[in-house]
């Protein structure tokens, strides 16, 4: 009877329940559980298993630049990274409120690492996340226009709970990129959250976007009420050198 039950669990893809029931049989734990306790135990095991697999799927689909988490962030370095602020971000409330975060600072200071850590934390909380380099994002969207998948790609970006655009502003936007960025931010404004990292101060983003009317429209949707992290100090890559661990040297 138990073998048949295990096989049915496997066929129905109740992996967590299957593992818990099999382990309980082997350990003799079932004899100590009432019927209610057994049902609760099996259901909880299945729930936890599905939650963990969903988190793993979110992390894989996000395609983070770094394997970073909030616990790895260094607050003992003088670079204007406020621990209390980061802990507030870590609870995911900024996503629930559809707020944006802008991270600026010189190259190597840790912008991408901080963004990756916040994105990974969002996945742990059950949110869908997409991490992308700004140049690659615009290139991919331009190619999607050519092959007819643009609408599908824009829809995929729109539905992400958190969009992370890394290295924004490395080069000025052309007309097509401006319009695509406006469409993305218009779709997400007030409904989803976005994190943007840039080497340039926010005040210089007008020049990067170009076309004042469109720049005003884009930045109004990005910057209004956004949280700002303005990192400063010397490059961490330069400071620690290539012999340090990845969670320090690869920050940007």
Whether 248 shows a pLDDT value over 50: the answer reads no
Burial (0-12, 13-18, 19+ Cβ within 10 Å), 82: exposed
Whether 252 shows a pLDDT value over 80: the answer reads no
pLDDT for 192-233, tens place per residue?
999 999 999 999 999 999 989 999 999 999 998 899 999 987
Phi, psi dihedral angles at 82 (to 5 degrees): -80, 120
Distances (CA, A) of 206 to 70, 182, 212, 234: 31, 13, 7, 26
Class in CATH terms, 63-249: alpha beta
Sheet containing strand 129-133, edge to edge, reads: 129-133, 162-166, 193-198, 101-104, 227-230
Whether 113 shows a pLDDT value over 80: the answer reads yes
pLDDT for 88-110, tens place per residue?
999 999 999 999 999 999 888 88
**Residue 245 vs residue 101, higher pLDDT:** 101
For the chain, which residues make up each domain, given as ranges?
2-60, 63-249
């Amino acid at each position: 009877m138990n073998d048949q039950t295990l096989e049915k669990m496997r066929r129905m893809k109740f992996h967590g329940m299957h593992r818990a029931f099999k382990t309980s049989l082997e350990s003799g734990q079932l004899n100590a559980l009432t019927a209610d306790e057994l049902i609760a135990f099996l259901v909880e095991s299945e729930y936890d298993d599905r939650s963990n697999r969903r988190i793993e799927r979110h992390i894989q689909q996000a395609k983070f630049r770094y394997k970073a988490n909030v616990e790895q962030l260094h607050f003992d370095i003088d670079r204007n990274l406020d621990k209390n602020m980061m802990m507030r971000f870590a609870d995911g409330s900024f996503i629930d409120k559809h707020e944006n975060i802008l991270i600026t600072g010189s190259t190597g200071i840790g912008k991408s690492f901080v963004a990756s850590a916040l994105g990974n934390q969002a996945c742990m909380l059950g949110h869908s996340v997409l991490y992308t380099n700004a140049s690659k994002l615009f290139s991919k969207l331009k190619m999607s226009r050519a092959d007819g998948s643009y609408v599908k790609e824009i829809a995929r970006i729109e539905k992400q709970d958190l969009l992370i655009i890394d290295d924004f502003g490395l080069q000025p936007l052309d007309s097509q990129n401006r319009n695509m960025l406006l469409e993305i931010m218009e779709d997400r404004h007030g409904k989803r959250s976005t994190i943007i990292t840039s080497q340039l101060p926010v005040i210089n983003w007008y020049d990067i976007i170009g076309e004042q009317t469109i720049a005003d429209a884009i930045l109004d949707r990005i910057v209004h009420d956004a949280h700002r992290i303005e990192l400063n100090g010397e490059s961490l890559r330069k400071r620690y050198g290539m012999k340090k661990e990845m969670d320090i040297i690869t920050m940007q």
